[in-house]
Amino acid sequence: MAKTLDVKPFRARPGRRIDLDDWPTQVKSFYKSKQDSHDLLAAHVERLSKRQTLLYAHDRYALLLIFQAMDAAGKDSVIKHVMSGVNPQGCQVYSFKHPSAEDLDHDFLWRTTRSLPERGRIGIFNRSYYEEVLIVRVRDEILRGQRLPEEAFEDGGIWKGRYQSIVDFEDHLFRNGTRVVKFFLHVSKEEQRRRFLARLDDPDKRWKFSALDLRERERWDDYMRAYAHCIAATSTARSPWYIVPADDKPNARLIVSQAIVEALDALEMRFPELDQDEQRELRTLRKQLADAPPRHPLKGKISKN
């Protein structure tokens, strides 16, 4: 029986003001040792795998997992480890980089909407439409390049409008069977510095680092305010945000995996039931298989010609 972790303290309550200084980047470990962390995560992954099979068979719901974070917070690592036991046919991962010219000619939800998971599947967004109220809010030159009409800035401003569009969009997804769970991996500025240095010291990881990483780091406080406003405005009972302490990677993986399992547990799912005619047909087919004479494999040497 897998250990159940209490992840409620990391869930952002709807309608509450958020100050990320009040949210820890590290908490007491849920594991006792490195091996214990592996065992706990393996148990979570096994539970997740079973529920993903049920999600696929039930074919009424989809699950969308959104990961947002500052650079080096560990998004790729969390996705890799937590989803390691899920059938690849039932899981889709999308990483969203800079929008293309075609993307910019549509509304800000367009490019991610095309990648939503089908019913019965788990979709993972490594970054998402939330970039449009995060990096775009911090770097206003990006917003200027989107050529928006004047109306977009009316009725309380561009950000209030985008928050409302996101909440309405996620409500629409909920009504149509897609459950959205969002994770902000909350890493400290000091831990990010250590991870950047580790990347630069590791020849196999230097490719992950660029001068842009340091320029973004200089806007740390601006990003923290943008994340705080975003989470406060868009964390709802139906589509919650989890603010995950991310300085301890194994702990972050356990929190995320527990939250995902709980999201799937909340769905009323069952395997398809066969009617009497279908059961009768299967019994007939089984009898045919059981009564078929056994065939022995061919004996003798295999010709080399």
Nearest to 126 by CA among 91, 162, 79: 79
Sheet holding 62-69, edge to edge: 91-95, 122-126, 62-69, 178-186, 241-245
- Cα–Cα distances in angstroms (integers) from residue 234 to residues 51, 163, 257, in the given order: 27, 6, 22
The H-or-E segment that residue 123 falls in is strand 122-126
CATH topology of domain 8-276: Rossmann fold (3.40.50)
Q: CB neighbours (10 Å) of residue 35?
A: 9
In this prediction, residue 303 has a pLDDT band, given cuts at 50, 70 and 90, of low
**Predicted TM-score of the model (pTM):** 0.90
Domain boundaries, the chain: 8-276
CA–CA gap between residue 1 and residue 214 (Å, rounded): 44
Among left, alpha and beta (phi > 0; psi -120 to 50; other), residue 181 is: beta
Tens of pLDDT, residues 141-179: 999 888 888 888 877 789 999 999 999 999 999 999 999
DSSP annotation of 13: P
CA–CA gap between residue 243 and residue 252 (Å, rounded): 10
Name 154's Cβ contacts closer than 8 Å, sequence gap at least 6. Answer: none
Task: Please give the structure tokens belonging to residue 231.
Answer: 């989470």
Is the pLDDT at 1 greater than 60? The verdict is: no
Nearest to 82 by CA among 128, 51, 44: 44
- Cα–Cα distances in angstroms (integers) from residue 276 to residues 163, 199, 286, in the given order: 50, 61, 15
Report the pLDDT averaged over residues 244-253: 98
pLDDT for residue 72: 94
Is the pLDDT at 268 greater than 80? The verdict is: yes
